[in-house]
Homo-oligomer: A and B are copies of this chain.
C-alpha cells in the first residue's frame, strides 16, 4: 500500500501517517521528489483499511499494491478449490450444471422439471422457495412449502438442491434442508447475512451484485471465509450498464479475471444476465468457452405461465439441446459434464 501525499504536505500530517503505520506494526519507507511524496507501507497490508489515511488532508490518495482480500486470494492458495456437495464436486474437471425453475410452483411442476433436467445432464436442481421480487405485489414464492417440494424432488431424483436464502432467521432451516445455499445478487453486500452463512459449513453460491466490482465480489466471499466457511462458489450473473437490450450485461471477462485472482470456482448464470430465453444457449456456450466451472440455467415446463422469469426460462427440450452443445465445447476445454 502506498500513501501518496500532496507535494506541499503538512509535516504534522506526514507524522500522522507514519505513526498510524507504526501503530499497525508495519514498516514505513518514504520517497520524496520534485513532484511526488510517497509513503510506502511494508508488510502484509491485506487487512489495512485505506480509510485510515484518506481522512488526512495532506493525503492525495492511497494506492493498493496488494489485493485487499486474503483467504479468497490465489496468492495465498495457488491451487483451484474444489467444493464438495455430498458426493459431487464443483470446481474440478467436471462442469457443474445447475438447472430448474425460477420458483417452485407445485409438486407436479418441480418433479417434472427435476426429472427432465436430470435426464438432460444437470447435476444440481435449483428452485426458488422464498423469492426476492422488485414489487411487493408480485408472487413471493411458496416459502416453506416450496422448500418441502424441493426436498421431495431431491428425494425423487437424487439431485442436490440450490436454494436462495434471503434472511438469516431461516438459516437453521436451510442448513438442515438445503445442499447449496444461494446468496442472491441483491444481498451480496448484506453483510449480516454474509457473516451468518460464514458460521455454517454449507457450500454457498454467492452471486455477484448488479453493480459490484470483481474485487467487491471477492471481498464478499472474504466476509464468509473470514467466518470460517471456505466452501464458496462464485456466480457471474450480469452487471447493470446503460445497455437495455438485455436485462443486465453479462461480464464474461470476469471469469478469467476471477480465475487469476482467486482459487474459488466460478459459474455463470446466462438466464438472469440476459433475461431473454433465446440468448441462454449461446451465452452458456460462451461461458464454457471462456473457462467457467459451470452454468446455472432457468428451466420451466411452461414458461408462458411461469409465475416469475418466464421470459428467460427455457423448456426442458431446449435445455437438453443446450447441454448437448456445451458438452462439445467442454471436451475442447478438457472438461466433462
Chain B residues in 8 Å Cβ range of A36: 40, 42, 65-66
* Closest Cβ–Cβ distance, residue A224 to chain B (whole Å): 9
Chain B residues in 8 Å Cβ range of A241: 239, 241-242, 249, 251
Chain B residues in 8 Å Cβ range of A240: 211, 242
Task: Decide if B303 touches A55 in the complex (CB within 8 Å).
Answer: yes
Task: Decide if B310 touches A134 in the complex (CB within 8 Å).
Answer: no
Q: Say how many copies of this protein the assembly contains.
A: 4
Task: Decide if B290 touches A283 in the complex (CB within 8 Å).
Answer: yes
A57 to B190, CA, bound (A): 36
Chain B interface: which of A106-114, A116-124, A135-143, A150-158?
A135-143
Chain B residues in 8 Å Cβ range of A81: none
In the complex, whether A262 has a CB less than 8 A from a CB of chain B is no
Q: Mark A285-317, 1 if CB is under 8 A from B, else 0.
A: 111111100000000100111101111010000
A residues contacting B by CB (< 8 A) are 2, 4, 13, 16, 29, 31, 33-36, 38, 40, 42-47, 49, 51-52, 54-57, 59-60, 63, 65-66, 68-69, 132-139, 166-169, 186-187, 189-193, 195, 209-211, 213-216, 219, 222-223, 226-227, 239-246, 249-257, 260, 273-274, 277-279, 282-283, 285-291, 300, 303-306, 308-311, 313, 325, 328-329, 332
The 5 A-B residue pairs with the shortest CB-CB distance, nearest first, are: A55-B310, A211-B211, A54-B311, A289-B289, A167-B192
- Can you list 19 A-B pairs with a CB-CB distance of less than 8 A? A2-B38, A2-B63, A34-B42, A35-B66, A38-B65, A46-B137, A49-B135, A55-B277, A55-B310, A57-B277, A134-B189, A135-B219, A169-B169, A214-B243, A240-B242, A241-B241, A256-B282, A282-B291, A329-B332
